Structure 1
Amino acid sequence: MSDIIDPYTPLSILRSPRPLILMRGIRVYLIVQLPKARVNSIFRRSSQQVWSVTIFLVFFLTLYGILGVQMFGALDYHCVKNSSVPG
């Protein structure tokens, strides 16, 4: 057996919050003071836009999923080598 030490131990998960310290430093420089009503209206409008994009995305994913299954669903033929033996 080799004596290679695994760098990813279960205790290495304790290092995962380290990038969040940088986020705190960035947040100090990006302080924006807005009235509470303005923040609420921004969240309301953005949530409506996110909902519209989500519906749009789900529609097209469903459409292309159905089309893909209809066009490529029964894959009875597969590419094989000419030297292969059917079995």
Structure 2
Amino acid sequence: MNHWSAIQHDVNIFCSCVTRIQDRNQNGCSVDDKIASACALFKEEDKKHMNFALMHWWRILKDKPKWMERRMQNGGTTTDSNKK
């Protein structure tokens, strides 16, 4: 359980970094460029300035409904949440 907590924490932070990079809407940037920018942002924000070492976990979890829902809740792209 403790191992999962560490994985979940770091993947959540990285997911937030990816969302912020994608929200910039930079023209001409490939997916790989955006991931590299998100890795740099993660390293900047990490208390120990460590690289994101759980890319394999992020690739598995990123398209799962639970993670997509969490991304929406954490300020990612919103669809109809502000509509009445």
Q: TM-score, normalised by structure 1?
A: 0.27
Q: TM-score, normalised by structure 2?
A: 0.28
**Bigger radius of gyration:** 1
Structure possessing the higher relative contact order (Cα contacts under 8 Å, 6 or more residues apart): 2
